[in-house]
Amino acid sequence: MLVLGIETSCDETGVALYETERGLLANLLHSQVQQHAPFGGVVPELASRDHVRKITPLVRTALAQGGAALGDLNGVAYTAGPGLQGALLVGAAFGRTLAWSLDIPAVAVHHMEAHLLAPLLEGAMPPLPFIALLVSGGHTQLVKVAGVGCYEMLGESLDDAVGEAFDKAAKMLGLGYPGGPQIAACAAHGDPNRFRFPRPMTDRPGLDFSFSGLKTFTLNTIRDHAPLGEQDRADIARAFEEAAVDTLLIKCRRALAAQDLDHLVIAGGVSANVRLRQRLAARLGGQVHYASPALCVDNGAMVAYAGHQRLAAGQSEPLSIVVKARWPLPELGSAAPANGDA
């Protein structure tokens, strides 16, 4: 089964081809970072317009790279939420219409399920059930995974997502957008012992997160030490990253202990963070699973793969174009487990 995957939920146009036997045949990404950078964040209208410009050429290139023609496709998968409404509509309208014109099934993919399944593109499914930490620009969630589509929300952020906190901290420090990789690079030169930032909500039971206080603490530290020199910036970035990573680590360990489970999957853009990966690996060894960095951030491959799993289970969309800016993960229905084709 050959599936075209389309990702347009935010500021990246991703298009990929996934085939049951041969795996990933093409994976193309156009990043809009340069367009949004002057504004310090994503401008939704600019994002939608750029997806419109890029989607057709990317699909053409993906097919050429994969040595496939439109007529070879057996299904089309597109991200239908959560994300920016206008941006989602571009991929959904394109994908649903293409599938209709080819008389093949289409499947609406949940962006966070796609993130969650991305590590399976490179490795086997950990023993079920396992805990997943989903960390992106819009979400910070701890989920118990009993199978593809069987998700129980254990905890989530009550305010900012951790990726959003990275982006805002970077902006306050005068670093570029997106902030996660910039904070990580800057923190590499920082002194871990100069500042200690709070680990929010770790002093009380529960698995929810809150990152707005950490953001305020960062802002106050910046104000107290203005004007900042290079070393101040690096030390603050380091303290911020340590606090964010430590908070995630504490909650992951708590979730594993509470559920009496051993295996943890981390996914979403922030799972590309090297310090987070190192700290979790030091604690959990081979029981922590993550994708290579290119598959942690938004991409079409994860959408093609998640869509493939659902199409293989016989699921498809009716002839309508529906996107959901908000879409709780536990609302997803079950799909057949991976068929060993990862």
Give, as ranges, the residues between 38 and 67 that touch ligand KG4 (CB under 6 A): none
By CB under 6 A, the count of residues binding ligand KG4 is 21
Q: What are phi and psi of 120, to 5 degrees?
A: -70, -15
Residue of the chain from 113, 235, 298, 317 that contacts Zn ion (CB under 5 A): 298
Q: Give the nearest distance from C-beta 276 to Zn ion in angstroms.
A: 16
Distances (CA, A) of 274 to 42, 309, 322, 323: 24, 29, 36, 33
Give the residue with the Cβ less far from ligand KG4, 8 or 273: 273
Q: Give the nearest distance from C-beta 301 to Zn ion in angstroms.
A: 12
3-state secondary structure of 191: coil
Give, as ranges, the residues between 180 and 239 that touch ligand KG4 (CB under 6 A): 180-181, 184
The strand pair at 75-81 and 2-7 is best described as parallel
Helix crossing, 274-284 with 179-187: angle to 10°? Answer: 70
Give, as ranges, the residues between 124 and 143 that touch ligand KG4 (CB under 6 A): 136-138
Q: What are phi and psi of 210, to 5 degrees?
A: -150, 125
Residue of the chain from 5, 91, 269, 307 that contacts ligand KG4 (CB under 6 A): 269
| Residues in Cβ contact with 221 at an 8 Å cutoff, skipping those fewer than 6 apart | 195, 197, 236, 239
User: Binding segment for Zn ion among 56-64, 89-97, 197-205, 298-306 (CB under 5 A)?
Assistant: 298-306
Return the H-helix or E-strand segment holding 264: strand 264-267
Distance separating the N- and C-terminal Cα atoms of the chain: 13
User: Binding segment for ligand KG4 among 36-44, 119-127, 187-195, 265-273 (CB under 6 A)?
Assistant: 265-273
CB 114 within 8 A of CB 304: no
Q: Give the nearest distance from C-beta 110 to ligand KG4 in angstroms.
A: 12
Asked whether position 297 contacts ligand KG4 by CB under 6 A, the answer is yes
Residue 130 burial by Cβ neighbours in a 10 Å radius (0-12, 13-18, 19+): buried
Task: Report how far residue 20's alpha carbon sits from residue 294's, in angstroms, rounded to the nearest whole number.
Answer: 21
The site partner of 179 among ligand KG4, Zn ion, none (C-beta below 5 to 8 Å per kind) is: ligand KG4
Asked whether position 79 contacts Zn ion by CB under 5 A, the answer is no
Residue of the chain from 272, 288, 302, 304 that contacts ligand KG4 (CB under 6 A): 272
- Which residues on adjacent β-strands are paired with residue 30? 13
Asked whether position 270 contacts ligand KG4 by CB under 6 A, the answer is yes
User: Binding segment for ligand KG4 among 26-34, 48-56, 174-182, 202-210 (CB under 6 A)?
Assistant: 174-182
The strand pair at 23-31 and 106-110 is best described as unpaired
Residue 193 DSSP class: T
Give the residue with the Cβ less far from Zn ion, 111 or 233: 111
Give the residue with the Cβ less far from ligand KG4, 256 or 297: 297
| Residues in Cβ contact with 117 at an 8 Å cutoff, skipping those fewer than 6 apart | 148, 302, 305, 306, 309
- For residue 180, the Cα-to-chain-centroid distance in whole angstroms is 13
Asked whether position 113 contacts ligand KG4 by CB under 6 A, the answer is no
Asked whether position 273 contacts ligand KG4 by CB under 6 A, the answer is yes
Asked whether position 300 contacts ligand KG4 by CB under 6 A, the answer is no
Q: Give the nearest distance from C-beta 268 to Zn ion in angstroms.
A: 6
Q: What are phi and psi of 205, to 5 degrees?
A: -65, 165
The strand pair at 150-156 and 140-147 is best described as antiparallel
Residues that bind ligand KG4 (CB under 6 A): 10, 115, 136-138, 163-164, 166-167, 178-181, 184, 268-270, 272-273, 297-298
Chain residues that interact with Zn ion, rule: CB under 5 A: 136, 298
